[in-house]
Each structure stands twice: as structure tokens, then as C-alpha cells.
Amino acid sequence: MRIQILYLFVLLVSFAISADNISVKSPDKKVVLNIKVDNGKAYYSIKYDNCDILLPSRLGIKTNVGDWIDNLSLTNSKVTKESRKYDMSHTKASHVEYEATKLVFKLANCDNKEVTITFMVFNNDVAFRYTIQSSKIMVYGEISSFRFPDSTKAFLSHKQKTNPSYERIYQADKSMTDKSGEGVGYVFPALFHLENDRWALVTETGVTSKYVGSHLSDFSNDNGYTIAYPDKEESSGKGDTYPTMEGSENTPWRTITFGNDLRPIIETTVTFDLVEPLYEPSIDYKPGRYTWSWLIWQLDSINYDDQVKYIDLNAKMGFEYVLIDAEWDNRIGRDKMAQLSKYAQSKGVQLMLWYNSNGNLNNVYQSPRDLMHEKNARDKEMKWMQSIGIAGIKVDFFAGDKQNSMQLYEDILYDANRYGLLVIFHGCTLPRGWEILYPNFVSSEAVVASEMVYFVENDANREPYDLTLHPFCRNAVASMDWGGVIMNRKLSKDNKSRHSRKTTDTFELASGIVTQTFVQCIEMQPNNLDDLPQIEIDFLKNLPTTWDETKFIDGYPGKFVILARRHKQTWYIAGLNAENDTKNLEIKLSMVKGDSKVDYYTDNNDGYSYLDSVKVDINSKIKISMKHNGGFIIIAKNE
């Protein structure tokens, strides 16, 4: 990953300040951030286009070295403009340029101790964090809150109390006053639909081993949603629920993205804009696609001969990686794994291996166990993997969002980079800027994923809903290893038994564009080489996984989504439909030259894809059709 940064700081004069109030605007003047201290309490509020996004919401933090919740006064504010340019390779855009208004001010408590708060005001995002000066800081809690107008509807995923792996369904268009399922709030990100069809997305970024992973509390009439820390029962009850920081440190950034439509939600890069790499990549990590036998063939496929079949499938498709799941150490063995890796490399393929995160923070029995949680064992294992040409690891079953878990994520990533290993996490937390912070990080599951489509027919029924919702929330802020462009019609090895996949083939192909991750799972089986139309095979052979631009075209969370991604000079426009009826739309493709022909994939009556060449009119408009649980793809090459 290459990062190029340019900072320009100039004094900004278009702001207002008084003894207890500061008001600043975004570079385009549409966003107004107001900071106010009223009766000893600190608040911030956000207006966009003269409409409320956040009503006055609390600011404040409580630590062992000071309490900045009540009895506060406003001091020492400074406003500047910041510009930045940088390149990245692991997410929705390859090059980013932005301008922002930066506000830094201090709050003094009744003991005259000060905490610094920094706000970044972009044209469609606001972010803030706290900075505390001390030798050792224990942060007991925050009052930081998000208070939306009363008519706002919420799209939220309930947090699990003792197994917080971010695997709860997002519920759509809910009242903010509804209680969470286990009474411990909601995971990030959280999506909100405001009056006048405005939208807002709340999350955090820049979480490392120096902090905990936070979430949103249940709603309260006084404060709306507040920042909440992990439950004491997470990590099997081990570790503190609050973070401890050594020396003067910053908290993570809390971010709010908003706009008059869903475009800023899809296109935001704020979770990457605010962070920088913690280390340099040890090798040039390659993007690509992987197959994964476990999803359909399950545990019985973890044997040498079946994995050879998947390696051969990859070689024929030009896919880069094969992921071998749990129990490989017992079912294949280390000596045979070295042989298998050598065979894969002879075919132009590399292996990735599954590991249990383990230690005493989980009691999951699947092996390999006790190799990732402790440095000496981790070093030995990663050195062995490097010696036989393993490309990466998938580490599963994490235990929560406490600081000890965040430390484990970081330790695994740091050491894996030393040995040139890519890292995917499952049964895990939301990544928070990790694509930039950790250059060998690929993606995380942190979602109800494809394995549930396999296990439960009701989850298979819900796949279209999930994959039309996540582009607006979970996948808008971080890479998502959902786990498969699923090509078997039946979710079984013979492709004839068990329940069926509920989506069309074009829906699945399009999901490989809509769902963003640096290394994408293509859930092909060896039989698919014979039972898929050639146009589908050819499409998957050429499916990119890195993107230079991402553009929102149309959609509504959980109903349908149409977005465009550019790879080099080619635009891939993809749509997914979760609604009960065929959806016919006319869409404008500003990135496609008017009066030109494009390749158009859609569904035939049998649910397979067919390819046609259609014309975009002189105004770059085109009529598209998406069947129930279907989709479309347009490929436009800009020479």
C-alpha cells in the first residue's frame, strides 16, 4: 500500500466564537458545526443545508486523571483548514483528496484540568476525538452522544452480550425508541433515515491496541445514543471494560457521515481519511479471489484430495488463493500441507490457512488451537507458513471488544506482516480503519455471513435483503468478508439436495462487485465448471477485486442497490434487487459516454445470466430491469 500525504494549514477566518460557543463551517459552507457549553455541560450539533442532522449532543469523558462531564468551561480554540491527498489499494477508492475544517478546543473542569477535543468538518462528514495529557490514563467512560431529530428511523444491529461477533441481523426502519435485544445497545456502524430524506451513518475509526472497541447504547430520551464500552462478560470475563493508555494519547475518532441522499453514505472514505499506517508492508500484498470448500462441502472436504480439486479449479479459473478451513492440522497434517502448498504453487495458486484465535479467551474446540494468542507460538507457526509458501491466514472466534482483544488483533497483524502473510478475521469485531492502519489486513466477517445461508433456509431467504443493505452500512465503512459469490443452485456438494439458493445467477455475479473486499471469496465448486454457462465462468475469471472509484447510482437499504466501481479504465455498474417484484428503472450513468454501447448482463427465465450489448442514450441514460432476487451488470470500457 502506498500512502502519499500533503497537508496544507492556513488560518480560517469564517468562524464565530464567544466565551461559551464556537461555530465553524465545512469547506463548501453547507455543514455548520456548533459547539456550546450550557450550564457546565458541553454539546455539539450539526446542520446540513440548514437542516438538523444532530440536535445538541453531549461531549465529555471521565478518566482517572480528570472528569470532564459536568462543570465545564470552554477555552483555547483554534480553527484551521486541512488538505490531504493519499493513495490506498485495499478498499473502495485508490486515490483520495479532501479538504476539511479543523477545530481544536479545550474543556476545563472545576479543577482547571483540561481535555483537548479535535473536530474535523468535511463536506459530508464530521469526526471528533479527545486528547488527554498524562502518564497513564484509564478512561472510565464517555458521555459522547448522537441525538437525532425525533422522527428519525434507525437501521441497527443488536450487540451480543457474551459472544459479540457482530453477527446479528440489521433491522430496518425501526423507531429509535425500540430496545436492543439483549439490552446492551448496537454495534457500529449505525444508519439513520432523517426527515426530508436525509441520511446519516455513525461509526468509529482508528481503534488499535490502545483502546477498546466501542458501540452505541440503547436510546434514551435525554441523550439519544451514547458511546458505550464492552460488557464485563466479554472475553470470558477477563480484562477491563475500559481502556488504559500510556502517556498522552488520543481516543479513536467518532464519525458521522450525512447528506441529502445516500450518495455520501456509499462513497465516504472518512474511516480511512483519519488514520495512517502503523507499519510498512513487508511484501507487495496481492489482491485476488479465493475458493473455500468448507462452505458447501463442509468439514469432510478438509482432506488432501479434495483440496487438490479446488486448487485445480483455481488454476483453470485464474483465481489466486485457496482457503483451507478448520481441522486441517489433523485431517491433512503438516507434512502433507507442505506438499499441498508446493502443488498449489506449481499451479500458480497459493494457500491460506484457518486458525483458532484461542488462548483462554474462548473455549472453541476446533484446531489448530493455541497458536495465535501467544507470541512465541505465533512466531514459530508463521515462520513455518512462510517456509512452505502460505499466503495468508483466516483467524476465527474472537471474544469481544475489550482492549485485550484489540491487542490480540494487532499482535496477529503485526507478526503476520513480518512473515508476509495476509490476514482475514472471522467471528470478530468491525474493522475500524484497519485497511490503512495494517497494510496486510484483508477484511473481516463481522456480519451475518454466507455460512448461515448454508445452514438455515430462512437465512438463505434473507440473503437479498442483507446484500442490498450492507453497502449502506457495514460495507460502507470497512471491507467485508461475507464469504462467497455462491454459484451452486442447491447448497450441497451434489448441487441437487438440501435447500436452494434463493438468488439468480446474475444477483450472485453482481454481488462480487457490490460487496467490497481486497481478496474476494468466489464460492465456486469443481462441478460449476460443467454446470455454469460459459459467460458466467468468463465473467468470474475476469472479476476484479480492487477499485479506483466507487459511485452511488440508486437504491434503498434492504430493498435494492445500484452502484458503480471503476477498475483502471473500466466501469462495472452492478445492481441487486431484494424486492418482491421485477424492478424496472431508467438510470443515468454519468461515468459512461453517451450514445455508446455497453455489455449488459441480466437474468433469463431460468435464472441464469445472459449477455447482451445495449446502447446508452445520448444523455448517458439506460433502462435496466432486475428480477425478484435478481440483478444486472453493465461493463463499460472508457478507452
Parallel, antiparallel, or unpaired for β 31-38 and 21-25? antiparallel
Q: In the beta sheet, which residues pair with residue 395?
A: 355, 425
Is residue 545 within 8 A of residue 537, CB to CB? The reply is no
What's residue 11's pLDDT? 40
Tell me the mean pLDDT in the region 370-383: 97
- Quick one: which of 465, 461, 470 has its CA closest to 443? 470
What stretch of H or E contains 414? Answer: helix 403-418
Tell me the mean pLDDT in the region 586-602: 96
Instruction: Assign 5 a pLDDT band (cuts: 50, 70, 90).
Output: very low
Positions of CATH 2.70.98.10 in the chain? 8-273
Residue 115 corresponds to which amino acid?
Answer: V
Q: Which residues make Cβ contacts (< 8 Å) with residue 444, sequence separation at least 6?
A: 424, 425, 426, 428, 429, 430, 431, 434, 478, 479, 480, 481
Tell me the mean pLDDT in the region 183-211: 97
Is residue 375 within 8 A of residue 399, CB to CB? The reply is no
Residue 2 has pLDDT above 80, yes or no: no
Instruction: Assign 151 a pLDDT band (cuts: 50, 70, 90).
Output: very high
Instruction: Assign 4 a pLDDT band (cuts: 50, 70, 90).
Output: very low
Instruction: Assign 19 a pLDDT band (cuts: 50, 70, 90).
Output: low
The 10s digit of each residue's pLDDT in 457-497 is: 999 999 999 999 999 999 999 999 999 999 999 999 999 99
CA-to-CA distance for 91 and 363, rounded, in angstroms? 33
Q: What is the DSSP letter of 159?
A: P
Cα Rg of the chain, angstroms: 24
Instruction: Assign 18 a pLDDT band (cuts: 50, 70, 90).
Output: low
Parallel, antiparallel, or unpaired for β 350-356 and 244-246? unpaired
Residue 614 has pLDDT above 50, yes or no: yes
Positions of CATH 2.60.40.1180 in the chain? 551-637
% of residues, the chain, pLDDT over 70: 97
Could you give the C-alpha distances from 478 to 154, 434, 463, 564, in angstroms and in order?
A: 20, 8, 19, 17
Identify the CATH assignment for 8-273 out of 3.40.47.40, 3.40.50.300, 2.60.120.260, 2.70.98.10: 2.70.98.10
% of residues, the chain, pLDDT over 90: 93
What's residue 142's pLDDT? 96
Instruction: Assign 578 a pLDDT band (cuts: 50, 70, 90).
Output: very high
The 10s digit of each residue's pLDDT in 383-397 is: 999 999 999 999 999
Domain 551-637: CATH architecture, name and number where available: Sandwich (2.60)
In the Cβ-directed half-sphere of 16, how many Cα atoms lie within 13 Å? Answer: 8
What's residue 638's pLDDT? 82
Instruction: Assign 124 a pLDDT band (cuts: 50, 70, 90).
Output: very high
Tell me the mean pLDDT in the region 425-440: 98
Domain 291-446: CATH architecture, name and number where available: Alpha-Beta Barrel (3.20)
What's residue 639's pLDDT? 66
Residue 6 has pLDDT above 70, yes or no: no
Tell me the mean pLDDT in the region 337-351: 98
Is residue 545 within 8 A of residue 288, CB to CB? The reply is yes
Q: What is the mean pLDDT of the chain?
A: 95
Residue 607 has pLDDT above 60, yes or no: yes
What's residue 360's pLDDT? 84
CA-to-CA distance for 473 and 201, rounded, in angstroms? 7
Instruction: Assign 3 a pLDDT band (cuts: 50, 70, 90).
Output: very low
Q: Which residues of 12-32 are buried (b: 16+ CB within 10 A; e: fewer)?
A: beeeebeeeebbbbbbeeebb
Instruction: Assign 248 a pLDDT band (cuts: 50, 70, 90).
Output: confident
Instruction: Assign 20 a pLDDT band (cuts: 50, 70, 90).
Output: confident
